[in-house]
């Protein structure tokens, strides 16, 4: 089978990397395509995958409209050369359009529900695979799994955190450290949304400094006063860093969810809330969700002074993993057995528990 995987965000590389390695080892041919946005190329190169860079990601409204046309056409041309048997993505508009021309199935994973993507891509998508925590309903095309995207790459079957990261970060034995994540607010689904303002960022950094080291990951150029806190290690080291961090605070839902899967407490601040981070708060107590900065500093102060926080999070983390499936194993089965797998999941959703 020839599989074309479209990447729209660094997290999508992680989402599909273990699936791709397993598929390639079984003789399937996998090709990635992407728009150069942040760390996608570095991550794909680190994994040793074959990929096509379709060009720079556009940030302006006009650029996004032009990019939709340009990149859709690019993937149609690429498909003519690569001849995929199947498209796979995180609900990519581009592969959805290309699948119409190639008449090949388009399979999408979804966990954000961005309206513009849903409106444009879902009519041309054969199946939409979502978590049971996902609130939106897409009808007969939708298949549910018990888990989160982040489990696809942070499940213990695939990821073992490397404690040598502490030396690379310059963190001493017994010293606490914290990771912050600031987003750019340039994505189409970020229009009209918000998180932390400069004053709150400053307050949080000053508070954390009193308890340990601070590291900041940012999509945009950091304000000069925060530059000395920049996380400077290669992007593939971030999950090791998150695994041993004492606390995560950020505007990015993906990294907050990664922390939940790793057992690290997370504070997520974003007016755009996600079903999975909400479940991770209500069911497991691993993420604390805020739609704006109100109450964030107080919550951070409370968590910093909770001496039992790490133990509570470890227990919750183990409970989470025991209740979720190995999404990579499930996805490989689903793709290899398409379309029969779709029928099985619609008739017997519990079949997924064969992939624990």
Whether residue 224 has pLDDT greater than 70: yes
158 lies in a domain? no
- Kindly state whether residues 192 and 231 are assigned to the same domain: yes
Residue 289, domain member (yes or no):
yes
- pLDDT computed for residue 193 by the predictor: 42
Asked whether the predicted pLDDT for residue 114 surpasses 90, the reply is: no
Judge if 252 and 299 occupy the same domain: yes
Q: What was the pLDDT predicted at 187?
A: 46
Strand 213-218 relative to strand 177-182, pairing: parallel
Q: What total of structural domains would you count in the chain?
A: 2
Please state, in angstroms and rounded to a whole number, the distance separating the CA atoms of residues 106 and 127.
7
Percent over 70 (pLDDT), the chain:
95
d(CA 55, CA 37): 9
Specify the long-range contacts of residues 272-277, CB closer than 8 Å, at least 24 apart. 272/189, 272/190, 272/193, 274/111, 274/112, 275/111, 275/131, 275/133, 275/134, 275/135, 276/111, 276/131, 276/133, 276/134, 276/148, 276/149, 277/253
Segments forming the whole domain that contains residue 250: 165-323
Q: Do 92 and 229 fall into the same domain?
A: no
Asked if residue 315 and residue 198 are part of one domain, the reply reads yes
- Co-location of 183 and 302 in the same domain: yes
DSSP H or E stretch at residue 258 = helix 253-262
Query: Within this chain, do residues 309 and 292 fall inside the same structural domain, yes or no?
Result: yes
The answer to whether residues 203 and 225 touch, using CB atoms and an 8 Å cutoff, is: no
Tell me the C-alpha distance between 129 and 143, whole Å: 5
Per-residue pLDDT tens over the stretch 45-96: 999 999 999 988 766 676 677 767 888 899 999 999 999 999 999 999 999 9
Rounded distance, CA 10 to CA 254, Å?
10
Q: What is the CATH number of the domain that holds 219?
A: 3.40.50.2000
Do 55 and 176 fall within a single domain?
A: no
Specify if 212 maps to a domain.
yes
Q: Are residues 44 and 178 in the same domain?
A: no
Same domain (yes/no): 309, 334: no
Structure confidence at residue 195 (pLDDT): 60
- Both tokens assigned to 141: 């095309």
Tokens 């359009």 belong to residue: 97
> Do 299 and 346 belong together in one domain?
no
What is the C-alpha separation between 40 and 246, in angstroms, rounded? 27
Same domain, yes or no: 118 and 42? yes
Do 114 and 171 lie in one domain? The reply is no
291 burial via Cβ count (<10 Å: 0-12, 13-18, 19+):
middle
Total number of residues shown for the chain: 356
User: Residue 185: pLDDT above 50?
Assistant: no
């Amino acid at each position: 089978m020839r599989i074309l995987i479209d990447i729209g965000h660094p997290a999508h590389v992680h989402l599909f990397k273990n699936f791709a390695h397993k598929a390639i080892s079984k003789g399937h041919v996998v090709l990635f395509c992407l728009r150069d946005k942040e760390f996608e190329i570095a991550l794909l190169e680190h994994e040793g995958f074959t990929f096509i860079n379709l060009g720079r990601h556009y940030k302006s409204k006009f650029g996004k409209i032009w990019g939709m046309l340009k990149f859709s056409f690019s993937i149609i041309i690429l498909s003519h050369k690569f001849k995929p048997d199947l498209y796979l993505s995180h609900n990519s508009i581009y592969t959805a359009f290309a699948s119409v021309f190639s008449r090949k199935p388009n399979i999408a994973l979804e966990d954000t529900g961005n309206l513009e993507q849903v409106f444009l891509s879902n009519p041309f998508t054969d199946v939409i695979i979502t978590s049971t925590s996902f609130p939106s309903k897409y009808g007969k095309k939708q298949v549910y799994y018990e888990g989160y995207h982040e489990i696809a790459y942070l499940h213990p079957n695939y990821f073992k955190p490397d404690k040598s990261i502490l030396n690379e970060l310059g963190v001493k034995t017994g010293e606490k450290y914290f990771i912050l994540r600031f987003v750019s607010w340039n994505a189409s689904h970020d229009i009209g949304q918000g998180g932390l303002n400069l004053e709150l960022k400053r307050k949080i950094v000053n508070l954390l400094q009193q308890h340990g080291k601070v590291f900041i990951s940012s999509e945009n150029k950091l304000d000069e006063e925060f530059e000395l806190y920049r996380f400077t290690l290669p992007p593939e080291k971030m999950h090791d860093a998150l695994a041993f961090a004492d606390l995560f605070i950020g505007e990015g839902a993906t990294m907050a969810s990664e922390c939940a899967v790793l057992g690290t407490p997370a504070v997520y601040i974003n007016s755009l809330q996600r079903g999975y981070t909400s479940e991770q708060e209500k069911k497991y107590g691993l993420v604390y969700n805020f739609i704006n900065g109100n109450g964030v500093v107080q919550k951070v102060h409370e968590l910093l002074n909770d001496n039992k926080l790490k133990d509570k999070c470890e227990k919750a983390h183990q409970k989470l993993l025991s209740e979720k499936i190995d999404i990579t194993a499930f996805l490989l089965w689903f793709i290899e057995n398409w379309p029969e797998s779709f029928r099985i999941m619609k008739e017997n959703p519990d079949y997924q528990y064969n992939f624990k």
